[in-house]
Structure 1
Amino acid sequence: MDISTALILAIVVSLLSFGVAAYFYIWVKKQPSSNKTVHMVGELIQKGASTFLRREYALLARFAGVIAILILLFLPQPIWSGDFKDNIAMAVSYIFGTALSALAGKIGITIATIANMKAAEAATKGIKPSFLAGFRGGAVMGMAVVGSSLLGVSLVYAITRDASAMLGFSFGASSLALFAKAGGGIYTKTADVSADLVGKVELGIPEDDPRNPAVIADNVGDNVGDVAGMGADLFDSNVASMVAALVMAITLDKGAGNFTMMVFVYAALGLLASSIGVITARMGKSGDPSNALNMSTYVTTALYAGATALVTWIFKFEWRIWGAMIAGLLVGTIIGIASDYFTNDNKKPVHYVAKASESGPAFTILSGVSYGFLSVLPALAGIAVSALVAYNLTAQLNPGNPVYGMFGISMAAVGMLSIVGMIISNDAYGPIVDNARGLVEMGNLGDKALEITDSLDSAGNTVKAVTKGFAIGAAGLTIIALLGTFMSEVNVAASERGLAGIENFDILNPTVFFGLLVGAAIPAVFSAMLMLGVDRNAQRMVGEIHRQFNEIPGLKEGKEDAMPEYDKCIDIATTGALKELIPAGLMAIAATIVVGFVGGVNAVGGFLAGNIISGLLLALFMSNSGGLWDNAKKYVEAGNHGGKGSNAHKSAVVGDTVGDPFKDTAGPSINTQVTVVSLVSSIMATLFLTIKIFG
């Protein structure tokens, strides 16, 4: 096999995944839906989500246009001092990356707002058809997103064969994902927090009661945050892992193409395994949706491990690189199991937090925070072990060249993200069945259907926590690999200019330590800015909900002619999210550039190391503690510890409200922030090497 054959394989498998996505899309659309209320509310959700996405993308298109011009003028080096074709290639690749990332979000929104209605009505027939409608809706997004990422990277490499162009493509995907995830997260948690505080805590009405003016905005938020935002996020992670590996592979290959070929072959086999996994996914006799989702993931993992081992043996690929990749794959599974333990409502941590809620919200918060911090260790230890194993396995290929070891870490990231098609399918399933549960309640489809969608929703919450942990873990390995990419880009630029390169970053060097401290602080500031955005926006929406309940006659009592003004809450969430989404991302990018021009490449190395460690810790903590509080609330609502309306329930709702911006706004946005600053560092490596105040 040669590099051309590997590229053809990657492109063919990408197109095959689009075929699977199209089949599922048609299958979901054909499912029956006849309830007029479900259809009406479903259309309101669809319209609200599409409106937000259109306004968000219009804003981000202007931002991307400005960045593309700056790239054209200054990167990889000023256009007047280098080869202008390199600048054009990077700028065009950047735009291509943003376009595909935006497309990932659009595909997700389109199918999710159809599948939620189908899953709701299927619940009247039983749990299996409802599960299948939700899962296959998610699988459309999974197949389309990963197919787009593999196809995009393959085309950019095939056309340019240039590392800078691929970094530009990855930066385009990452920058749009950063703002899409932040904007969607602020929108969804503005509506969710407001609806819960006024509806559940103050008035004691059900979660998806149509009297609540924020209920449609809440359902819209599930789509723009957990579907469009997470789709762009995992598109970004998948692209970044492949690009990090390819940039180092190009350096190591020196024209031979062996390492580059392996990246494409292994990535294509991962998408193929995910395609088979989603096609064969079914709910077993137990009728447990969590088991069905987990089993499909394990089957896909086993298929991938077996297929890559077979290909490695047949084509005599390097077994050490296969071992590094499998180390990443296994750690991804371990992170998923750890996240499941701390967030699943069948496990002790959720039961303990639910029990603590009987004593008041302070104990809900204390216990949830404690378990959230405990959950960080298995994931971080797993990332550390996989990076250590991968580095030492591949470093032996050439002990004198540290790039081999860093390439091994990048292949561990490729391995962890190899089954990302299945992971996205599982993740998108969560908000689809969450919406379906609301539609069942608003459409009065019966207690049995509500019980079924509650069960599906609970599994969706656990799976979302698992996939968020997986995404964060994969980002961790990817960012470590991107640190190697940054070193590689610096050394290439240094060699061209007759300057000394870098082999490591000494934390006793004051310039490196300066960068380390600043980098460690950025994720905390970034998180605070996003959560303050949710806080400001939610306070405005709570005021609007109070106004409607006070001014619309009969609304509180549920009279038929009293209709809430849903569009007012949708507009507050949309306007506020668009206002708040840019500053936090710009702050992180600006901090990277300032550190680079102050301390040069050594300060940036420290900055990235601090950003990685701090970012991973905070992201894992917030994701898991938020998922834990959410399922503790649902465990109480299932009738435990006093059930709905009890003191434990009110405390659990407060915990869930605190956890909402943790798990759906700040937590999952941090891993994208870390990826973005790493890519900014790599594409600006030449400038940081030559223009600096200290270092």
Structure 2
Amino acid sequence: MNAIYFVAAGSLLGLIFALCMFLRVKKQPEGTAEMIKISTAVRKGANAYLKRQYTGVALFFGVVFCILIIMAFTGYLSFFTPFAFLTGGFFSGLSGFIGMHTATMANNRTAEGASKSLNKGLRVAFSAGSVMGFTVVGLGLLDLSIWYLILNAVFHNLPASEKIAEITSNMLTFGMGASSMALFARVGGGIFTKAADVGADLVGKIEAGIPEDDARNPAVIADNVGDNVGDVAGMGADLYESYVGSIVSTAALAVAAGYGISGVSVPMLLAAIGVVASIIGTFFVKTKEGASQKNLLRALRTGTYISAGIIVVASYFVIKILLPDHMGLYVAILSGLIAGVLIGAITEYFTSDSYKPTKKLADSSETGPATVIISGLSLGMLSTVVPVVIVGISVLVSYYATGGVNDFNIGLYGIGLSAVGMLSTLGITLATDAYGPIADNAGGIAEMTHMDASVRERTDALDALGNTTAATGKGFAIGSAALTALALIASYIDKIHQISPELKLDLTITNPKVLVGLFIGGMLPFLFAALTMSAVGKAAQSIVLEVRRQFKTIIGIMEGKAEPDYASCVDMCTKSAQKLMIAPALIAVIIPIVVGFIMGPEGVAGLLAGNTVTGFVLAVMMANSGGAWDNAKKFIEQGAHNGKGSDQHKAAVVGDTVGDPFKDTSGPSINILIKLTSMVSIVFASLIVASYLL
């Protein structure tokens, strides 16, 4: 019980640090009146989008809440589940909103900081990203602490073993709310940002021949708004859900493994220690003027590695004190932590223009857009090999090191701990990710306000770094999703056994229900990716037509004598995103339930396994292809292959345009899909079992 107070303290520490970073950013100079005007327009557009999104999502939550209440009254669920569902969604959405509000406040301040020095621009953007990172971990641990204390009070009369089982079983379900909000945020924000980005690039850069982020482009404000609602608010909600999901699923597995309160305390304490480690790591992020991409990347990586090193030391003592006879669990934590670092490194290798794969992708622009597309797809497919091997090794090491050979449940608990280990430094990892869109916005403001060329050079350097950190952040999110999903699958099977101990599940590959479930699960990420890619295409078409219309009808727009109608593009992106995000989001909720009713718990288990395997690989491929296409374009813009405006540059822009929905809509949304389907299956497990036994 004492551990939960330490977790609550970690939560408050994270939120206090986030507040300090927010106030630090707010004190920075805002720049000229023109810079403030553009920043305000971006902030208003982002707020308008989130207001409309949260209104629509509130209807979804209201409907699902009513369904869960009915299930609770009929005995299929605990009465705590509907309310846990709401709090999970609320805190997930709140973390995204706070991060986005900070990012839109920091964009002009980052540009102004970059006018002084590269390090100043980096520090402002990173401090703003830290608000996102520490808000996510702080609110995640706060939600967890509140529910633990409430449930501990409610079940205080039960024996210790029964009490902790009830607590973890109920806490597991608030992940469904977090997952649902994350999916809407990721899909809706991803559709918005990429529709605006594609529209701005295709008409502005290729057809009109004007620079990126040029104030004459009607979609430029929508593009900057999209960076915030997709890459900040969406990513925040996404990783909030991974973070909380890994902790609660591992806590539930601790009970199944027989570790009791000590086993439940381990993932919680690791998360709390991770907050402290991440705070310490932030103080080591700094650089010097004229730094190369490798120098800048090293500056961010230094903070991350120091945080990871602290976890390596601290986690040893956590296991030594709480479970001294099971030191194999320490190996499981290390395997997850190392896997996270390695996945980040391999993603960086495939997507940064400092390394051969992206440079070779840029070389392919010499023969036109087709070869850029072919090379980018090949790069993405190749990049899946090492992350799959890394996650596979981490799973095997975690399982066998903890004693999975002798006790299956203990091995599963080890896998869950590896996921917690990977996410333990989320505060600083997410800070380096959220930093990217802020730097991107700063570059846009520098371009639109015609700041000195040296400022744009610095913001471009920060933006290119942001593309790499965003790509590694997505790789990290996808890798952690795979491990978390494995823990959730184990929790689902354990839940089925709790509901009906006499039910004997046949989960062998030769069981037709499992096999069909595998096929359906394997198809699900492709269906989801198809719907989200199609949504971006439809929304982008409307923006392309609108930008073309304005170029033709607004006299003086190309000469800079007339101001484009920015608001119309923002409004069109908002409406399209809200409408087109519904179908992809609903399939993640509906399909597991339908499969459960038709093929029972065994079919659902197959679906979850197939969904996790295919989803992990497809997400990595799409995220890395998109990241490499983007950085290949920026590599050419820096002067390679005849630079901006050349045929090679135009070919790279086409590749980047294809890659936009890959890396910012479909790819990162798939990792939420694989976790949400597991969460839905756990929440509706009682109903599925009841229908199966009829």
TM-score of the two chains, using structure 1 as the length reference: 0.95
Is the Cα–Cα contact under 8 Å of residues 557 and 563 in structure 2 kept in the other structure?
A: yes
Aligned to 2:488: 482
Give the 5 Å matches for 1:576-655.
576-655=576-655
Q: Which amino acid aligns with 2:444?
A: G
State yes or no: 1:439 paired with 2:445: yes
Which of 229, 244, 248 in structure 2 is aligned with 1:224? 229
Shift of 1:24: 0.8
Do the aligned partners of residues 315 and 507 (structure 1) sit closer, same or farther apart at CA in structure 2, a change above 3 Å counting?
Answer: closer
Aligned to 2:571: 571
Structure 1 CA distance for aligned equivalents of residues 485 and 551 of structure 2: 48
Do the aligned partners of residues 400 and 290 (structure 1) sit closer, same or farther apart at CA in structure 2, a change above 3 Å counting?
Answer: closer
Shift of 1:316: 5.3
Is the Cα–Cα contact under 8 Å of residues 281 and 303 in structure 2 kept in the other structure?
A: yes
Is the Cα–Cα contact under 8 Å of residues 403 and 488 in structure 1 kept in the other structure?
A: no
Structure 1 CA distance for aligned equivalents of residues 406 and 121 of structure 2: 57
Which of 241, 245, 256 in structure 2 is aligned with 1:251? 256
Q: Once the two structures are aligned, what percentage of the paired residues are identical? A: 43
Is the Cα–Cα contact under 8 Å of residues 73 and 87 in structure 1 kept in the other structure?
A: no
Q: Which amino acid aligns with 1:596?
A: G
Shift of 1:530: 0.6
Aligned to 1:556, the other structure's residue is in SS state coil
State yes or no: 1:273 paired with 2:277: yes
Aligned to 1:114: 105
Structure 1 CA distance for aligned equivalents of residues 149 and 257 of structure 2: 18
Structure 1 CA distance for aligned equivalents of residues 426 and 11 of structure 2: 13
Aligned to 2:18: 21
Structure 2 CA distance for aligned equivalents of residues 132 and 326 of structure 1: 30
Aligned to 1:682: 682
Shift of 1:690: 2.5
Structure 1 CA distance for aligned equivalents of residues 603 and 265 of structure 2: 34
Aligned to 1:547: 549
Q: Mean alpha-carbon deviation: is it higher for 301-310 or for 175-184?
A: 301-310
Q: Which amino acid aligns with 1:590?
A: I
Give the 5 Å matches for 1:333-352.
333-352=341-360
Shift of 1:294: 1.3
Do the aligned partners of residues 115 and 524 (structure 1) sit closer, same or farther apart at CA in structure 2, a change above 3 Å counting?
Answer: same
Aligned to 2:257, the other structure's residue is in SS state helix
Aligned to 2:66: 69
Q: Which amino acid aligns with 1:61?
A: A
Is the Cα–Cα contact under 8 Å of residues 284 and 292 in structure 1 kept in the other structure?
A: no
Do the aligned partners of residues 285 and 51 (structure 1) sit closer, same or farther apart at CA in structure 2, a change above 3 Å counting?
Answer: closer
Q: Which amino acid aligns with 1:447?
A: A
Is the Cα–Cα contact under 8 Å of residues 31 and 109 in structure 2 kept in the other structure?
A: no
Q: Mean alpha-carbon deviation: is it higher for 659-668 or for 683-692?
A: 683-692
Structure 2 CA distance for aligned equivalents of residues 23 and 81 of structure 1: 46
Aligned to 1:90: 81
Q: Which amino acid aligns with 1:183?
A: G
Aligned to 1:307: 314
Q: Which amino acid aligns with 1:576?
A: S
Is the Cα–Cα contact under 8 Å of residues 128 and 435 in structure 2 kept in the other structure?
A: yes
Is the Cα–Cα contact under 8 Å of residues 189 and 234 in structure 2 kept in the other structure?
A: yes
Aligned to 1:405: 411
Segments of 5+ residues of structure 1 without an aligned counterpart are: none
Q: Mean alpha-carbon deviation: is it higher for 244-253 or for 384-393?
A: 244-253
Q: Mean alpha-carbon deviation: is it higher for 98-107 or for 286-295?
A: 286-295
Shift of 1:69: 1.1
Q: Mean alpha-carbon deviation: is it higher for 649-658 or for 322-331?
A: 322-331
Aligned to 1:32: 29
Give the 5 Å matches for 1:386-401.
386-396=394-404, 399=405, 401=407
Aligned to 2:673: 673
State yes or no: 1:328 paired with 2:331: no
Give the 5 Å matches for 1:227-238.
227-238=232-243
Aligned to 1:110, the other structure's residue is in SS state helix
Structure 1 CA distance for aligned equivalents of residues 347 and 134 of structure 2: 24
Give the 5 Å matches for 1:139-158.
139-158=130-149
Shift of 1:80: 2.7
Structure 1 CA distance for aligned equivalents of residues 178 and 479 of structure 2: 19
Structure 2 CA distance for aligned equivalents of residues 600 and 453 of structure 1: 54
Shift of 1:315: 5.0
CA RMSD of aligned residues (A): 1.4
Structure 2 CA distance for aligned equivalents of residues 15 and 279 of structure 1: 19
Structure 2 CA distance for aligned equivalents of residues 601 and 314 of structure 1: 38
Number of positions where the alignment pairs a residue of Structure 1 with one of Structure 2: 676
Shift of 1:168: 2.3
Aligned to 1:262, the other structure's residue is in SS state helix
Q: Which amino acid aligns with 1:537?
A: A
Q: Which amino acid aligns with 1:41?
A: I
Aligned to 2:500, the other structure's residue is in SS state helix
State yes or no: 1:355 paired with 2:380: no
State yes or no: 1:241 paired with 2:232: no
Q: Which amino acid aligns with 1:405?
A: G
Q: Which amino acid aligns with 1:570?
A: V
Do the aligned partners of residues 543 and 272 (structure 1) sit closer, same or farther apart at CA in structure 2, a change above 3 Å counting?
Answer: same
Shift of 1:289: 2.0
Structure 1 CA distance for aligned equivalents of residues 35 and 339 of structure 2: 41
Q: Which amino acid aligns with 1:52?
A: Y
Structure 2 CA distance for aligned equivalents of residues 364 and 644 of structure 1: 16
Structure 1 CA distance for aligned equivalents of residues 337 and 580 of structure 2: 36
Is the Cα–Cα contact under 8 Å of residues 597 and 693 in structure 1 kept in the other structure?
A: no
Q: Which amino acid aligns with 1:281?
A: V
Aligned to 1:53: 50
Shift of 1:251: 2.9
Shift of 1:619: 0.3
Structure 2 CA distance for aligned equivalents of residues 332 and 529 of structure 1: 29
Structure 1 CA distance for aligned equivalents of residues 408 and 493 of structure 2: 10
Aligned to 1:432, the other structure's residue is in SS state helix
Q: Cα deviation per residue 1:345-379 (whole Å; 9 max; x = unaligned)? A: 11001110111101000000011110100100111
State yes or no: 1:508 paired with 2:510: yes
Q: Mean alpha-carbon deviation: is it higher for 612-621 or for 286-295?
A: 286-295
Which of 530, 538, 548 in structure 2 is aligned with 1:536? 538
